Amino acid sequence: MNYVTIKDVAHEAGVSVPTVSQVLNDTGRISAATRQRVLEAVRRLDYIPNSAAISMRSSSTKTVGILVPDISNSYFSYLISLITRELLVEGYVCMIGSSSESLEGQDRFLRSLLTQRIDGAILIPQGTASRGLKKFVASGLPLVILDRQVRDLPDAGRIPVIDADPRPGIKAAIESVKARGHSRIGFIHGPTAKSPNLLEREQMFVDIAGSRLGNRNALVSEHVSALSAIRELLSRKVDTFMFGYSPDALEAIRYFRLQGLKIGVDVSIISFDDIPVFELTAPSISVISQQQGMMGDYGVRMLSSLMQGRALGEQTEDAFGRIRIPTLFIDRESVGETCTVA
Amino acid sequence: MNYVTIKDVAHEAGVSVPTVSQVLNDTGRISAATRQRVLEAVRRLDYIPNSAAISMRSSSTKTVGILVPDISNSYFSYLISLITRELLVEGYVCMIGSSSESLEGQDRFLRSLLTQRIDGAILIPQGTASRGLKKFVASGLPLVILDRQVRDLPDAGRIPVIDADPRPGIKAAIESVKARGHSRIGFIHGPTAKSPNLLEREQMFVDIAGSRLGNRNALVSEHVSALSAIRELLSRKVDTFMFGYSPDALEAIRYFRLQGLKIGVDVSIISFDDIPVFELTAPSISVISQQQGMMGDYGVRMLSSLMQGRALGEQTEDAFGRIRIPTLFIDRESVGETCTVA
């Protein structure tokens, strides 16, 4: 890696290294013009002060950065509200940013976050190792990755990853669906096709549903949009839908209502994510819960240990160094007794 | 990687690339209609201008702070997601913080925000002028207050405040309730008793419902908890509930369901806040919408002007220098024809 150093910035701005340092640390007497020149050089070179320098600036800022894929997805807003409350209790303020489910949105927030004064971060990243994420990891800041794995992240071994193990939830859901006489299930994995976690859910669905109901009754769909996937699976005579991404299930509820299809009667639904709305719809929606409470808890405890330089302690890690929270199937009213779509 | 480019936006909007660029950079003379078309294309395609171009424009940090009362309240998470998307289009990254509906949470975030590198802020504050808020105002940073007024804020005159005018929505709701033969309405204002906006809703309810249905049929309740308020009003033979704070309405839906009371039949509900869940419940819930889209839009435009040192332009301000977005009553299925609680 070829990181920009403070020397590069000084050279670019035509000033000395201590001057750059003073500007970045907001110390000393620097003219507005010089300050401007330094900051422009910082921006032009995309210079990020290294974390050693950051932490030397002050003992601790008691601020934590949080990256969330989409703040309007209530699975995330609920998880984040749990985390911010727990961190507040431990004396930390959170700076939250949304990637709006895009790599570029993510990287712009992470780049900005690195220039801020934070003690550490909890990131729920996109599924591929973006430039911004690599840079963030390389900064050496205390860091925990939550809920979503990242493909091909260098140095990933030293970063705690806490996510949900989809197997137990999917298995229990399919058993229950089968016991009620349904024979044809479709899975819709959600829009972020590159997320290892969403793809893993799909793969596990294919394995488990295939072995219980026969491969030709375990259907998956291309996902151009949630609606196109729902329509495709309906046309292939699916009687039960499983959603890997809860916003898609919300779209399905709207669509089925418009089409006059009764959930739990004409068509059955199970969705990932235990979000409050699924309890309030009628019928209420059966879910595969990732136990966000537990996930948030682990995340806060591990980040807190890292920020205080404590050992992580014994954790239940799998072969890849991840902590996996088992998913739970919560049975409600959206899976009916044997039914078929006309 | 398949990023949306400025060419895609131009194509989608049916204009030239320089025109898109001028709209995004706010240069040149562009008609309001074209501007609108371009911004709609930007939104539709989820286009993100490249940051290199943006950062060369100025030496600002291109970061905006956002304070939200409670990130798990979907009224706020939706409003904030609109704002962050619009700001992203304008090249700004957002650092979001939650006050968890407490003055202390608010002040800790604001204090931390002041030590960060931001160009400005959009705040949805608690109702009383806390120490942290006063300090933030005194910093002179570009600032817009959204959705909630603040009592006794020094120097408030120079800070744009954009909130909702509750009158039109409450008036239309009460007309509709009366037309369907309901005679006894109760109002529950929510937990933040010190919020001028929540108290204003209650006062307006008392005025309007009192004059239409008679004062003894327009009831309000002490609010220890949502549940205690609901129970109290039920015992006072209220047949229609109006909620000033949507999380209370969600609790009511749960409670009525547990009690076997059918919404829209045994009891009627209207709630403030047009949040997605109210469309997904059965029956769907009639709401008084604050038109968040418009509110967010105004907020972003005004902050953007302030950060760029432009004049705020002509705005529809009331006598107190606020911009008030009229509320809208959206009639759905939760107000039934004449019914009484047994």
- A277-297 pLDDT per residue, tens: 999 988 999 999 999 999 999
Mean pLDDT of B258-285: 94
- Tally A–B CB contacts below 8 A: 131
ipTM over 0.85: no
Would you call B19 helix, strand, or coil by DSSP?
A: helix
Instruction: Decide if B85 and A100 are in contact by the 8 Å CB cutoff.
Output: yes
Please report the pLDDT score of residue A313 as a whole number: 58
Please report the pLDDT score of residue A30 as a whole number: 83
Structure-model confidence comparison of residues B29 and A86, the more confident one: A86
For residues A256 and A253, what is the distance between their CA atoms, to the nearest angstrom? Answer: 5
Query: Which residue in the set B78, B97, B281 is minimally distant from A280, CB to CB?
Result: B281
Most confident of B15-24, B99-108, B184-193: B99-108
What type of residue is B182? Answer: H
The whole-angstrom distance between A284's CA and the closest CA on chain B is 9
The CATH-assigned architecture of domain A165-290 is: 3-Layer(aba) Sandwich (3.40)
The tokens describing A246, both together, are: 């809860």
B110, B67 in Cβ contact below 8 A? Answer: yes
Kindly tell me if the per-residue pLDDT of A7 is higher than 50: yes
- Edge-first strand listing for the sheet containing A93-98: A322-326, A161-165, A143-146, A120-123, A63-68, A93-98, B93-98, B63-68, B120-123, B143-146, B161-165, B322-326
A290, A92 in Cβ contact below 8 A? Answer: no
Please report the pLDDT score of residue A192 as a whole number: 64
For residues A72 and B82, what is the distance between their CA atoms, to the nearest angstrom? Answer: 9
Place of tokens 């706010």: B26
In CATH, which of 3.40.50.2300, 3.20.20.60, 3.30.379.10, 3.40.640.10 is domain A59-159+291-323?
Answer: 3.40.50.2300
Contact list in A for residue B282 (CB cut-off 8 A) is 281-282
Mean pLDDT of A119-128: 94
For residues B188 and A211, what is the distance between their CA atoms, to the nearest angstrom? Answer: 53
- Is the bond into B196 cis (omega within 30 degrees of 0)? no
Please report the pLDDT score of residue A309 as a whole number: 83
* CATH 3.40.50.2300, applies to B167-290: yes
Domain borders along chain B are 6-47, 60-159+291-323, 167-290
Instruction: Decide if B108 and A100 are in contact by the 8 Å CB cutoff.
Output: no
Instruction: Decide if B96 and A95 are in contact by the 8 Å CB cutoff.
Output: yes
The CATH-assigned architecture of domain A1-47 is: Orthogonal Bundle (1.10)
Closest CA to B94 of A70, A95, A102: A95
Closest CA to B147 of B292, B271, B321: B292
B339, B265 in Cβ contact below 8 A? Answer: yes
Kindly tell me if the per-residue pLDDT of B164 is higher than 80: yes
Query: Which residue in the set A72, A81, A93 is minimally distant from B112, CB to CB?
Result: A93
Query: Which residue in the set B94, B97, B277 is minimally distant from A94, CB to CB?
Result: B97
The whole-angstrom distance between A78's CA and the closest CA on chain B is 5
Closest CA to A164 of A340, A11, A294, A2: A294
Query: Which residue in the set B1, B88, B100 is minimally distant from A88, CB to CB?
Result: B100
The whole-angstrom distance between A100's CA and the closest CA on chain B is 8
What type of residue is A311? Answer: A
For residues A75 and A164, what is the distance between their CA atoms, to the nearest angstrom? Answer: 13
User: Contacts from B15-24 at CB under 8 Å and sequence distance 24+?
Assistant: B24/B49, B24/B89, B24/B90, B24/B91
Place of tokens 């996902």: A223
* Per-position DSSP letters for B226-257, written without gaps between them: HHHHHHHHHHTT--EEEESSHHHHHHHHHHHH
Query: Which residue in the set B59, B80, B277 is minimally distant from A39, CB to CB?
Result: B59
Q: B193-229: per-residue pLDDT in tens? A: 678 999 999 999 999 999 999 999 999 987 778 999 9
Q: For residue B242, what are the CA distances in angstroms to B171, B189, B205, B222? A: 12, 9, 9, 14
The CATH-assigned architecture of domain B60-159+291-323 is: 3-Layer(aba) Sandwich (3.40)
Please report the pLDDT score of residue A73 as a whole number: 92
Q: In CATH terms, are B6-47 and B60-159+291-323 the same topology?
A: no
Closest CA to B39 of B74, B71, B86: B86
Contact list in A for residue B285 (CB cut-off 8 A) is none
For A77, the closest chain B residue by CA position comes to B72
For residues B108 and B112, what is the distance between their CA atoms, to the nearest angstrom? Answer: 6
Q: What angle do CA B40, B42, B46 make, to 5 degrees?
A: 120
Largest pairwise CA distance in chain B: 69
Other C-beta atoms closer than 10 Å to the C-beta of A215 total 11
* CATH 1.10.260.40, applies to B6-47: yes
A121, A64 in Cβ contact below 8 A? Answer: yes
B299, B67 in Cβ contact below 8 A? Answer: no
The whole-angstrom distance between B156's CA and the closest CA on chain A is 26
For residues A123 and A69, what is the distance between their CA atoms, to the nearest angstrom? Answer: 9
Mean pLDDT of B128-144: 93
Q: Which of B280, B332, B334 to mutate to test the interface with A (most CBs of A within 10 A)?
A: B280
Q: Which of A280, A285, A292 to mutate to test the interface with B (most CBs of B within 10 A)?
A: A280
Residues 6+ apart with CB under 8 A from A29: none
Contact list in B for residue A136 (CB cut-off 8 A) is none
The whole-angstrom distance between B222's CA and the closest CA on chain A is 26
Kindly tell me if the per-residue pLDDT of B54 is higher than 50: no
- Is the bond into B283 cis (omega within 30 degrees of 0)? yes
The whole-angstrom distance between A219's CA and the closest CA on chain B is 27
Contact list in B for residue A277 (CB cut-off 8 A) is 276-277, 280
Would you call A134 helix, strand, or coil by DSSP?
A: helix
User: For residues A262-283, b (16+ Cβ closer than 10 Å) or e, as one string?
Assistant: ebbebbbbbbbbbbebbbbbbb
